């Protein structure tokens, strides 16, 4: 095994759940990129922090997901008896070809640029309703009252979840994020994961029944029909991927809107510029994705021995964590002050949506939701101020980076 390079004073270089890291991971990434760009953690995972290595690992066919073996190695052979791990093993996000190709192929049409462009008027309507509901109050929580409602409503509509079933999703606790973090789960966390998974399974089985009896123009109907159609996907795969779409489709977008609004209010010159020149918004969304990505990491497993990744040998079966948030601030790619928010920056190509065959299915949808949400907020509430831009409360998860709440007044 490789040596464990440590930071100043013997502190671990990569301790992603420490409060300091959660509050501001970027100085930690700087140290990783400079001192030990392919770092080995105490759990034996390799951590890639430079743009070039992260890009290569996500795109190179010598790397894959290998979810079942990877989980067994990390926990024990019994881990696949845990319902939440079984369910995740069927996610397209964790699958390798040919299963990945088959599962992704069943839903990809719903996410084409054209289909998503057609959703603009509906997205605008939902954003306007959220603002109408609070405008007379003079204050709101930008997360709960604003950022959260849009992606949840959109994904519910895409999945054909009837309106009178949705209240529970608006109120849900959003605590499933720990499942993605690169630090093993405790028995208690696995138990909670199983409970959440069971609740979701019970709900979605009811929805499948409803859509079998009463088909609609939605993704659930499409997948239920594919299941009935023979051997396109199993019932377990159907359930797991609907749960994935539901989760992937909202938490990440809520956080893009929340992190983007925080970044803007911490940089008043950029906020003023964007208000004066709304045509900059499309580029600004790319810059928000780069500057403080709502997904900080993805991972791959070496499917064969890799001789050299940033000077390290990666044996077959070992995991490489790809630090997207770090790659996005690599001065090798962004030489002009990467730690600065600049909504006019040119050639911004954030890795926040991953890469290779798993490149985010919802990328275009998320961009348009964020663009309409932030543009509308700046236009309709131009005097909005965030109550405490210095010390906002971050959620305790690392991979999904976002705020618990963001109170604001106008």
- Residue 400 has what DSSP assignment? B
Q: Does 355 bind ligand HEM (CB under 6 A)?
A: yes
Q: Are 237 and 103 in contact (CB under 8 A)?
A: yes
Closest CA to 37 of 316, 409, 358, 323: 323
Chain center to CA of 170: 18
Q: In the chain, count of helices (H) and strands (E)?
A: 17, 12
In angstroms, what is the minimal distance from the CB of 356 to ligand HEM?
Answer: 6
Closest CA to 359 of 85, 58, 158, 126: 58
Q: Is the dihedral of CA 133, 137, 139, 144 positive or negative?
A: negative
In angstroms, what is the minimal distance from the CB of 152 to ligand HEM?
Answer: 11
Binding string to ligand HEM for residues 95 to 124, with x set by CB under 6 A, is what? ---------x--------------------
Q: Where does this chain touch ligand HEM (CB under 6 A) — which range of 41-49, 186-194, 226-234, 349-357?
A: 349-357
Q: Does 126 bind ligand HEM (CB under 6 A)?
A: no
Helix pair angle (281-291, 235-266), 10° resolution: 100
Cβ neighbours, 10 Å, residue 230:
7
**Among 360, 368, 374, 408, interactor with ligand HEM by CB under 6 A:** 360
Q: Does 325 bind ligand HEM (CB under 6 A)?
A: no
Q: Does 58 bind ligand HEM (CB under 6 A)?
A: yes
In angstroms, what is the minimal distance from the CB of 76 to ligand HEM?
Answer: 25
Per the rule left: phi > 0, alpha: psi between -120 and 50, beta: everything else, 159 is alpha
Cβ neighbours, 10 Å, residue 167:
9
Quote the CA–CA distance of 303 and 388 in Å, as a whole number.
Answer: 46
**Among 249, 258, 310, 392, interactor with ligand HEM by CB under 6 A:** 249
Q: How many residues bind ligand HEM (CB under 6 A)?
A: 28
Quote the CA–CA distance of 362 and 359 in Å, as a whole number.
Answer: 9
Judged by CB, which is closer to ligand HEM: 58, or 323? 58
Quote the CA–CA distance of 162 and 165 in Å, as a whole number.
Answer: 6
In angstroms, what is the minimal distance from the CB of 220 to ligand HEM?
Answer: 13
In angstroms, what is the minimal distance from the CB of 319 to ligand HEM?
Answer: 13
75 in helix, strand or coil? coil
Q: Does 89 bind ligand HEM (CB under 6 A)?
A: no
**Among 211, 358, 395, 401, interactor with ligand HEM by CB under 6 A:** 358
Which residue's structure tokens are 């965030």? Answer: 386
Q: Does 301 bind ligand HEM (CB under 6 A)?
A: no
Quote the CA–CA distance of 264 and 131 in Å, as a whole number.
Answer: 19
> What tokens does 241 get?
């991927």
Judged by CB, which is closer to ligand HEM: 258, or 392? 258
Q: Is the dihedral of CA 190, 392, 258, 52 positive or negative?
A: negative
Judged by CB, which is closer to ligand HEM: 394, or 410? 394
Q: Does 54 bind ligand HEM (CB under 6 A)?
A: no
Q: Does 156 bind ligand HEM (CB under 6 A)?
A: no
Q: Does 155 bind ligand HEM (CB under 6 A)?
A: yes
Binding string to ligand HEM for residues 255 to 294, with x set by CB under 6 A, is what? -x------------------------------------xx
Q: Does 179 bind ligand HEM (CB under 6 A)?
A: no
Q: Does 366 bind ligand HEM (CB under 6 A)?
A: yes
**Among 55, 253, 259, 270, interactor with ligand HEM by CB under 6 A:** 253
203 Cβ neighbours under 8 A, 6+ residues apart = 165
Q: Does 92 bind ligand HEM (CB under 6 A)?
A: yes
Contacting positions for ligand HEM (CB under 6 A):
58, 92-93, 104, 155, 244-245, 248-249, 252-253, 256, 293-295, 298, 352-356, 358-362, 365-366
């Amino acid at each position: 095994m490789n040596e464990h390079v440590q930071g100043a004073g013997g502190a671990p270089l990569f301790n992603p759940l420490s409060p300091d890291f959660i509050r501001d991971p970027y100085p930690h990434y700087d140290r990783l990129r400079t001192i030990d760009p392919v770092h080995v953690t105490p759990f034996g995972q390799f951590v890639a922090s430079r743009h070039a290595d992260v890009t290569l690992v996500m795109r190179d066919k010598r790397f894959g997901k290998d979810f079942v073996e990877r989980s067994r190695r990390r926990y024990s052979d019994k881990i696949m008896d845990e319902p939440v791990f079984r369910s995740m093993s069927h996610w397209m996000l964790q699958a390798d070809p040919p299963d990945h190709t088959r599962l992704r192929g069943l839903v990809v049409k719903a996410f084409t640029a054209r289909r998503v462009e057609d959703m603009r008027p509906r997205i605008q309507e939902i954003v306007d309703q959220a603002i109408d509901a609070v405008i007379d109050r003079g204050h709101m929580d930008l997360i709960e009252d604003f950022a959260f409602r849009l992606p949840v409503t959109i994904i519910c509509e895409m999945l054909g979840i009837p309106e009178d079933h949705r209240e529970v999703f608006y109120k849900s606790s959003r605590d499933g994020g720990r499942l993605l973090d690169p630090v093993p789960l405790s028995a208690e966390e696995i138990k909670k994961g199983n409970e959440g998974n069971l609740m979701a399974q019970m709900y979605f089985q009811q929805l499948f029944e409803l859509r079998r009896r009463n088909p609609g123009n939605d993704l659930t109907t499409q997948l239920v029909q594919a299941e009935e159609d023979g051997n396109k996907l199993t019932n377990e795969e159907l359930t797991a991927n609907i749960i994935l779409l539901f989760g992937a489709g909202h938490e990440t977008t809520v956080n893009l809107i929340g992190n983007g609004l925080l970044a803007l209010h911490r940089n008043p010159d950029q906020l003023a510029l964007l208000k004066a020149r709304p045509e900059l918004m499309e580029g600004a969304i790319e810059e928000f994705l780069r500057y403080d990505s709502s997904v900080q990491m993805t991972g791959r497993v070496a499917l064969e021995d890799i001789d050299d990744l940033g000077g390290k040998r990666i044996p077959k079966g070992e995991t490489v964590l790809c630090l997207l948030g770090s790659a996005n601030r690599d001065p090798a790619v962004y030489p002009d002050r990467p730690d600065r928010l600049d909504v006019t920056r040119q050639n911004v190509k954030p890795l926040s949506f991953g890469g290779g065959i798993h490149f985010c299915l919802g990328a275009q949808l998320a961009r348009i939701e964020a663009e309409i949400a932030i543009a509308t907020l700046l236009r309709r509430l131009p005097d909005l101020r965030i109550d405490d831009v210095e010390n906002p409360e971050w959620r305790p998860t690392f991979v999904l980076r976002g705020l618990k709440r963001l109170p604001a007044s106008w």
